[in-house]
């Protein structure tokens, strides 16, 4: 049924594994289609009580949006890409059943944004988190400007996004980006153990906690002419796509060379 993810259901826990290890599980359009349908399964299948999101292979959770799909997009198409990503991630964030990210390696760009859309995160010792979009002349587009700020605070969020610095597992723990660090071998087991505790509680109360905590984390939409930070992000993401620096940044990544930005 799915081509880019693998799913399994054991004792009420639905595990969604992004499965493009040769591309470090980069999120292309098909991954979003598959992920969206898998999240629907979580919503609709009464046998599913909670979900884990993880990545295939030893190296990456998800190394970002698939950069090969960026070339040639105009502003409107780029905004549509961001909108689509945000919608799937909102669905994860607003699920009444808990979603936990088990981050087993690189969680960069869209990968970090996917992990942050989950209700909380565990990671393995080799995990690396970051929003390196500025290297491509871009900004995060799947909610990263908003959720990173909610999780680590404004100053750290600004620095991490502006420098494209990659945070290791222990720094991620200190920053509150993850709740626990464990060995790669124990990552899924530890995640399942926590979900088993949660699944022993009242499901309606769990759903209400998710709802209330999400409200506490919402950005203030009274600024920016009533537009939320997420809508602002979509527009700014689209704006980046009509810059020469974005074309240069993505071409440099694909050609495996350093980008030469000119500010145009």
Active-site residue identified among 133, 185, 189, 233 = 133
Q: Check binding of 108 to ligand COA (CB under 6 A).
A: yes
Using rule CB under 6 A, residue 78 touches ligand COA: no
Whole-Å CA distances, 41 to 14, 28, 48, 165, 203 = 9, 20, 8, 35, 17
Residue in 55, 64, 85, 144 binding ligand COA, rule: CB under 6 A: 64
113 is a contact residue toward ligand COA (CB under 6 A): no
105 contacts ligand COA (rule: CB under 6 A) = no
Give the dihedral of Cα atoms 72, 75, 81, 82; nearest 10 deg.
140
In the list 34, 66, 233, 245, the residue contacting ligand COA (rule: CB under 6 A) is 66
If the CB atoms of residues 14 and 70 are measured against ligand COA, the closer one turns out to be 70
Q: Which is nearer to ligand COA, 202 or 256 (CB)?
A: 256
Residue listed under structure tokens 């689209």: 238
Nearest residue to 58 via CA among 30, 83, 24, 85: 24
55 in contact with ligand COA (CB under 6 A): no
Angle between helices 144-152 and 154-163 (to 10 degrees): 130
Cβ of residue 17: shortest distance to ligand COA, in angstroms? 17
Burial per residue of 109-132, b for 16 or more beta-carbon CB atoms within 10 angstroms, e otherwise? bbbbbbbbbbbbbbbbebbbbbbb
Residue tagged active-site, from 93, 113, 185, 211: 113
Q: Are 197 and 139 in contact (CB under 8 A)?
A: no
Chain residues binding ligand COA by CB under 6 A are: 23-24, 26, 63-68, 106, 108-110, 132-133, 135-136
Active-site residues: which are they?
Answer: 113, 133
């Amino acid at each position: 049924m799915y081509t880019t993810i693998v799913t399994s259901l054991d004792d009420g826990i639905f595990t969604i594994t992004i499965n493009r290890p040769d591309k470090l599980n980069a999120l292309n359009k098909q991954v979003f289609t598959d992920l969206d349908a898998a999240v629907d399964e979580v919503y609709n299948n009464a046998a599913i009580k909670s979900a884990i999101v993880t990545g295939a292979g030893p190296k990456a959770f998800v190394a970002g949006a698939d950069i090969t799909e960026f070339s040639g997009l105009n502003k409107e198409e780029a905004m549509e890409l961001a909108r689509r990503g945000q919608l799937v991630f909102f669905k994860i964030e607003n699920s009444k059943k808990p979603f936990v990210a088990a981050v087993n390696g690189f969680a960069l760009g869209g990968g970090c944004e996917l992990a942050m859309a989950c209700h909380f995160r565990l990671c393995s010792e080799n995990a690396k988190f970051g929003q390196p979009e500025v290297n491509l002349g871009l900004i995060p587009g799947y909610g990263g400007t908003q959720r990173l700020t909610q999780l680590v605070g404004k100053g750290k969020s600004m620095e991490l996004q502006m420098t494209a610095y990659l945070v290791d597992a222990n720094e991620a723990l200190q920053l509150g980006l993850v709740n626990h660090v464990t060995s790669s071998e124990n990552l899924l087991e530890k995640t399942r153990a926590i979900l088993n505790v949660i699944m022993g509680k009242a499901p309606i109360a769990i759903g209400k906690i998710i709802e209330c905590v999400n409200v506490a984390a919402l950005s203030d939409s009274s600024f920016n002419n009533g537009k939320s930070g997420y809508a602002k992000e979509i527009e700014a993401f689209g704006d980046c796509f009509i810059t020469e620096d974005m074309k240069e940044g993505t071409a440099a990544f694909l050609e495996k060379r350093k980008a030469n930005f000119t500010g145009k």
